[in-house]
Amino acid sequence: MLVILGMIINLCLGSIYSWSVFKAPLKAYLEGMGQTITASDLQLPFMIFLAVFSIFMVLTGKYIERYGPRKVAMVGGILCGLGWLSASTANSIPMLTVLYGVIGGAGVGIAYGVPVAVSGRWFPDKRGLAVGLTVLGFGFSALLTANIAGFLNAAYGVMNTFRIFGIAFIIIIFLLAMPLTFPPAGYKPAGWTPPAPKPGAAVSCEAKREQMIHTKSFYGLWLCYFIGCLAGLMAISISADVAKQAVNIEAGLATMLVGFFAIFNGGGRPVFGTLTDKLNPRNTAMLSFILIAVASLLIYMIQTVPVYVLSFAILWGCLGGWLAIAPTSTATFFGTGDYPRCYGVVFLAYGAGALVGPLLAGYIKDTTGSFINVFPLVIILAAIGFVVAFMLMRPPDLKSKA
């Protein structure tokens, strides 16, 4: 039940990924008020939302332990909904950026870590699968909320859509947060005995955040998470553009395919979460970078529809996979005693990748004339990620500092 509740909460929080559906009606609405709106202007609320999201993951982690998951999730859900609700009053991009990007992003940052922490505590025997299923809702969100938003935009207008989403998120997240709780101290699933330590697989310590940030394992995980998100977000942010410009797919079909790829973004989370349990974090990270490199090489060398669909399904799946690899690895390497604060710092890698990736992809397009030239850089990033994972993603040794 707790995993399902977390999945639905993340479905609401992940509605940020439906932002592209709002851009055209927002542009028309604001230009109808006499303003000049560029494509970069429309990216600003989205980028600030993701940046504030990742920052508040760090700032609020300790409060999950202090006040409990229920209260923190409720506060985050209310702020998330207020961000969407207040966005319906915006009459400019700067105002929308503050109301939607800052308030909404803060709400998502506060609430996002709660279901992940709860699932990780209740399922130490299947932590990767439980966490992967919990964050699956965030990946699948675009598939559902984008279609709902498209219908509401057409029927009621973009500002009313913001209002409807805001009210719905406040009610849904508040109600679903009520049962969220941590297990009692010393809890173990019935019939489960913690396995004997295996190299790279089992928890080697229970670290505080202050201890974690002084280990090579933390820097290896952070860098790999950053590279995985940077490479993935660079690729998926141009999915529709590559379809239309390089593969000559009709615009309507290109949009449908982006929705199809969202299935892999969501499905990659439980798959890679389970692999992290089975193979260990280091080997799963290296596997993801191999897949990213192969997919990027395929689409760069062979620009046909079947290759495009295969490559981008892999790229979206690997990006979603890192949203399970990273939280599972954090718990595996550093334990769950200070997990919300620890993963908050690790999650900054996602925020950094979310800011740099799309901007870098746009810069490459502007300087080279084609989005297809993004993929050699993605291949290089994947190779760097593979080396970093091999060298640094190992269990930390804090015995000497215990």
Residues 188-214 pLDDT 10s: 887 777 666 555 444 456 788 888 988
Whether residue 172 sits in one domain with residue 213: no
pLDDT on residue 399? 56
- Per-residue pLDDT at 228: 92
Q: Is the pLDDT of residue 401 over 60?
A: no
Distance in angstroms (rounded) separating the CA atoms of residues 91 and 131: 39
Tell me: do 173 and 249 sit in the same domain.
no
| Lowest mean pLDDT segment, chosen from 106-115, 156-165, 203-212, 367-376 | 203-212
pLDDT of residue 284: 95
Asked if residue 222 and residue 147 are part of one domain, the reply reads no
HSE-CB of 144 using CA atoms within 13 angstroms: 15
Contact 235, 374 (CB under 8 A): yes
Give pLDDT, residue 51. 83
Looking at the structure, tell me whether residues 152 and 82 fall in a common domain: yes
Q: CATH code at 377?
A: 1.20.1250.20
- 36 pLDDT exceeds 90? no
Among 50-64, 201-215, 252-266, name the most confident range: 50-64
Give the predicted TM-score (pTM) of the model: 0.76
Q: Kindly state whether residue 239 falls inside one of the protein's structural domains.
A: yes
Which residue, 133, 153, 177, sits at the end of a domain?
177
In tens, the pLDDT along 138-149 reads 878 877 887 788
Looking at the structure of the chain, the number of domains it has is 2
| CA pair distance 8, 112, nearest whole angstrom | 11
- Rounded Cα distance, 17 and 239, in Å: 13
pLDDT for res 193: 72
pLDDT at 5 over 60: yes
Average pLDDT over residues 106-120: 90
Q: Examine the domain organization and report whether 213 and 161 are in the same domain.
A: no
Task: Based on the fold, state whether residues 244 and 115 are members of the same structural domain.
Answer: no
Cα–Cα distance measured from residue 210 to residue 213, given in angstroms and rounded to the nearest whole number? 6
Residue 197 lies in a domain: no
291 and 373 fall within a common domain: yes
- How far apart CA 83 and CA 64 sit, in angstroms, is 21
Say if residue 141 is in the same domain as residue 229: no
Q: Report yes or no on 184 lying in a domain.
A: no
- Both 226 and 95 in one domain: the answer is no
Q: Are residues 118 and 217 in the same domain?
A: no
Indicate whether 388 belongs to any domain.
yes
pLDDT digits (tens, 9 = 90+) for 319-359: 889 988 998 899 888 887 787 788 888 988 988 887 888 77
Domain membership of residue 300 as a residue range: 209-401
374 and 280, same domain (yes or no): yes
8 A C-beta contact, residue 101 and residue 52: yes
Q: Is residue 300 in a domain? A: yes
